[in-house]
Amino acid sequence: MLILLANLLTAQNNCSPFLPMEEGATWELTDYSPKGKVQGIIRYELLEVEEDGDDMTFTVKTTSLDKNEDEVFVSEFEAYCKDGEFSYDMSFMMDGQAMQAYESMEVDVDGSNYALPDLDAPAGTKLPDASLRITVQGPIAINMTVDITDRSIDAREEITTPAGTFDCVALSQVVKTKTIMKVEASSKEWYSPGVGVVRTESYNRKGKMTGYSELTAFNQ
């Protein structure tokens, strides 16, 4: 146990994971309308932390629930500490309620990594773009894309949610989605080391908020 803890601390020195470190940790993100009405819930569980020297791979289970807390979609994604940088596999951004309609079909997912900076990264720091491609094989092939661009650090801020108060790095970005139509929007996100996403805010092209999410439970 002491050797494992030493290894984890060594990895943390090289990379600040924006996820819990203990297998079995659970947390919950609740989605709200602009007026604060619950739209859905995503429950997360850290299934595994795998080490390779100073690099680490995290496997996370996600369970998407509707506003009545009925289960609609279950999936997994990975996150990484590699070469001193933390990133999520972009599949962590898949909309569980949207994907429910394609459960019986063949779905191919291809995405880049979604990198996050060190907590002390200065405001104005530029972050790499990220993208996600989803192809659904069915009677009619469906192609969905998400491109996230113009990513930058806004500030370091303390955010309070129903789950507690967290020291966060805040970032903003442009989100372009395409299925049948192209939609351009923007978002703001707050991430805390050892926790993950604490709050998100989504805006349409005119800058009007379309929804937000908050961390509503955190157990490790």
Query: Tell me: the pLDDT tens digits for 7-48?
Result: 444 334 468 899 999 999 999 999 999 999 999 999 999 999
CA pair distance 82, 79, nearest whole angstrom: 10
Instruction: Please report, for the chain, the start and end positions of each structural domain, with discontinuous segments joined by +.
Output: 2-219
Indicate whether 98 pLDDT > 80. Answer: no
Apex 164 CA angle, 150 and 208, nearest 5: 40
**H/E run at residue 146:** strand 142-161
- The string over 47-59, giving b where at least 16 C-beta atoms fall within 10 Å of a residue's C-beta and e elsewhere, is eebeeeebebebb
**Tokens standing for 86?**
């933390």
pLDDT digits (tens, 9 = 90+) for 102-132: 555 576 777 789 999 888 889 999 999 999 8
Q: What is the pLDDT of residue 190?
A: 97
2 CB neighbour count, 10 Å cutoff: 6
pTM score: 0.85
**Tokens standing for 145?**
């894309």
Question: In 3D, which of 154, 174, 164, 173 has the Cα closest to residue 198?
Answer: 164
CA pair distance 59, 51, nearest whole angstrom: 12
What are φ and ψ of residue 118, in 5° steps? -65, 150
Pick the CATH number of 2-219 from 2.40.37.10, 2.40.360.20, 3.20.20.70, 2.60.40.10: 2.40.360.20
